[in-house]
Structure 1
Amino acid sequence: MAIVTVSAAVSHVGKIRSNNQDSGFAGETLFAVADGMGGHAGGDVASALALKRLAEIDGEYSSAVDAEFALQEAIVAANAVLTETVYEHPELTGMGTTLSALVRVGHSVALAHIGDSRVYRLRDDTLTQITVDHTFVQRLVDSGRITPEEAKTHPRRSVLMRVLGDVDAAPEVDLQVMDTRPGDRWMLCSDGLSGVVEHDEIEAILKDSIAPADAADALVKSSLDHGAPDNVTVVVVDVHQSLDTPEVEPVLVGSAARPIAFEQSSGRRTSRIPGLRLHPRGPASTEPSHFEPGSEDYLDELIEEDRRRSRRRKITWLIAALLAVALIALGLYAGYRWTQTRYYVGESNGNVAVFQGVQQGVGPIQLSHVFQETDIPTDALPGYTQRQVENTISADSVTAALDIVKRLSDTAAEGSESGSGEGGSTDGGTPTPTPTPTPSPSGSPAP
């Protein structure tokens, strides 16, 4: 049985941009995505020229190494085409494009990558990002200066370190050969998808969609549902075993699917900074097609700026934390002051006492203290009243608490009086003893 591929390519302008600067290609063995940059006219021209030159190598190869070499040669040739085009059309100076491509050869794929478009592989329901972005923030992540989460919102996340264009005659392209097997699903995309839709959501869509065309459409729709601030292009490739080799009609999408038109504009040549491009992401970006720093130490300046941002962020968090602590402390103090407006009657040292505060505590901290201790013993109270005092009696104010104490004092006094009234007494209040009879000599009681 032969190893075959089934693929689909979709490109959409997105919800914000006026033209599509992405290009995509799905052929017999070659699959690629390019994301152009360089202004209204330059981006679409760059990606279309690169993809059309690359499409010329679509075909069969004897080995993955041969396919890898063909990819490298085609990318160098595409870069030369861009340089020549800028020479003939100076208004396109500064245009460039990312490029991610793969060629399947049997059980292997040859990969080529430059820029921030991406190649993913879904195997055994697990999605893996194969390529590494050639961006400034990715360098910061790799060096440990920022986290991947911080990279998503970093103000320099649009800076590309490597692209095809009129800047570098010999661009550095990542090349590798990997294995593939039946059941693998490969996905190539521009950052209009990967920069908007989370990894887990992309994985779920690729797992749930049966046909490549359905998966590509669902991924583009997901980007649109998230606002699609940039062009989005997706190529999905499934690897199968089959007895038949299907006929494949190569498909170009995006700007490569249209005739290339050069729009005359008032342009000027800009300073050439090797390997440093700005990939606009905002809907109304007024930034230039690439940076024009006045110093070769621009990267160091960016890194130092990032450090300053980090320090400012830490100071902001510290101030916010101090404010939060102050608010919590103020709330606790206000709560404590309120507790001191409450009173209750309870027991202290065996006597009835008035307490200021509330009966509850916070851990080892008590929220009440003895306000006034009386000379009324709790054991002088009736049993039921004594238990009430031991369990505390709440009062709304100190006056109400003192009224409770007065009633308890009266109750204790009544209990004392009722206790002293039991048994006989003389005029002096001392019980009169009862005389004991004296026995007679004969042993009979005396009369």
Structure 2
Amino acid sequence: MTPIRIEVRTGAATHAGNLRSENQDSHLVRRPVFLVADGMGGHASGREASELVVRAFDHQLWGPWVTPQTLKDATAVAARAVADLGNRVSGAPGSTLTGAGLAVHDAEPCWLIFNVGDSRTYLLRDEELEQVTVDHSQQQALMDAGLTSRAAAASARKNVITQAIGGGLANEPVLDLWMLPARSGDRVLLCSDGLTGELSDQLIAATLLSVTEPQDAAAALVSAAVAGAGRDNVTAVVVDAVLVEGTRTELREWSSDDTVDDTSAGLGGDTRADLEVAR
């Protein structure tokens, strides 16, 4: 029987940007889970909120693979910790969360992608970059309702997200999950919106294609964002699958609409409160 195995190489870079005195982004690179958390800059203690999210995932007992349940457990711990922080400080501290875990589904090695908020996870495969996660934002909701991206951007209030960990939400966040079959050569990018707010998907793809080493690729992306306007904190984590064993011959197709079902992924009611985030 072919062993089920994923070997990865990783890189990470972060910068406060040109306009911020404090970097409220946090990240974690710890097999089998990799993540970026963006503290909500308009709220008190955003940096501490993102650090609490990372700590919850860092302290989780993962085993060799992540599962929807272990991700749900870690997110719930993070939500309680940020809620406790909100009880001790003024304002409503909060954080986004996006990440990728190494998982097995139907005896096949997979990426288990997870997301709350507007930080993003991308997959580069066969020289094509695709955004896996779907932003929890007012602008994305308008686009889902049928408006073009330009019309949605004009209609949406700037920097409003509809899901976060903390940020004054009454209920625990709903964690979106995608299970994607893994393939050797996959490159996964996790990033805060300080990156995607400055760089187009085309420039992100070109950088990921041209820079071989994951640490160099992460650093190049962050440097490019800072060299532009650099208006926000920016973080990039790059995870390369250098060897995947146990993949089926016929790779299953996937779509960003195909999340893991709500019964395994949901962490509470579908809360729609808007969160004003000063970036």
User: What range is the shorter-chain TM-score in?
Assistant: 0.7 to 0.9
- Aligned-partner Cα distance in 2 for 1:159–1:242: 38
- Aligned-partner Cα distance in 2 for 1:70–1:168: 22
**Matched residue, 2:35:** 32
User: Cα 1:17–1:226, aligned 2, differ >3 Å: closer, same or farther?
Assistant: same
Aligned partner letter, 1:12: H
- Aligned-partner Cα distance in 1 for 2:64–2:182: 15
**Matched residue, 1:135:** 137
- Aligned-partner Cα distance in 1 for 2:126–2:61: 28
The SS at the match of 2:67 is helix
1:77-107 CA distances to partner (integer Å, 9 max, x unpaired)? 11011111222x132x311111012111362
**Matched residue, 1:100:** 98
- Aligned-partner Cα distance in 1 for 2:194–2:74: 25
Misfit runs of 4+, over 6 Å = none
The answer as to 2:208 corresponding to 1:179 is: no
> Which stretches in structure 1 are left out of the alignment for 5+ residues?
244-272, 282-447
Aligned partner letter, 2:135: D
Structure 1 residue 23 displacement after superposition? 0.7
Structure 1 residue 151 displacement after superposition? 3.9
The SS at the match of 1:128 is strand
RMSD: 2.1
Query: Is this contact kept in 2: 1:68–1:111, CA < 8 A?
Result: no
The SS at the match of 1:20 is coil
User: With structure 1 as the length reference, what TM-score do the two structures score?
Assistant: 0.52
Structure whose residues are more often helix by fraction: 1
The SS at the match of 1:196 is coil
Structure 1 residue 186 displacement after superposition? 0.2
User: Cα 1:153–1:210, aligned 2, differ >3 Å: closer, same or farther?
Assistant: farther
The SS at the match of 2:206 is helix
- Aligned-partner Cα distance in 2 for 1:142–1:45: 32
Query: Is this contact kept in 2: 1:117–1:189, CA < 8 A?
Result: yes
**Matched residue, 2:195:** 193
**Matched residue, 1:167:** 169
User: With structure 2 as the length reference, what TM-score do the two structures score?
Assistant: 0.82
The answer as to 2:157 corresponding to 1:156 is: yes
Aligned partner letter, 2:116: I
The SS at the match of 1:220 is helix
Structure 1 residue 280 displacement after superposition? 1.3
**Matched residue, 1:224:** 226
Structure 1 residue 119 displacement after superposition? 0.3
Query: Is this contact kept in 2: 1:15–1:224, CA < 8 A?
Result: yes
Query: Is this contact kept in 1: 2:42–2:276, CA < 8 A?
Result: no
- Aligned-partner Cα distance in 1 for 2:28–2:164: 18
- Aligned-partner Cα distance in 1 for 2:68–2:123: 18
**Matched residue, 1:90:** 89
Q: Which has the larger radius of gyration?
A: 1
Aligned partner letter, 2:69: F
The SS at the match of 1:37 is coil
**Matched residue, 1:7:** 10
**Matched residue, 1:18:** 21
**Matched residue, 1:44:** 47
User: Cα 1:217–1:58, aligned 2, differ >3 Å: closer, same or farther?
Assistant: farther
Query: Is this contact kept in 1: 2:165–2:172, CA < 8 A?
Result: no
- Aligned-partner Cα distance in 2 for 1:154–1:58: 43
> Which stretches in structure 2 are left out of the alignment for 5+ residues?
246-270
Matches within 5 A, 1:181-330: 181-241=183-243, 275-281=273-279
Aligned partner letter, 1:103: G
User: Cα 1:242–1:120, aligned 2, differ >3 Å: closer, same or farther?
Assistant: closer
User: Cα 1:40–1:13, aligned 2, differ >3 Å: closer, same or farther?
Assistant: farther
| Paired-residue identity, % | 35
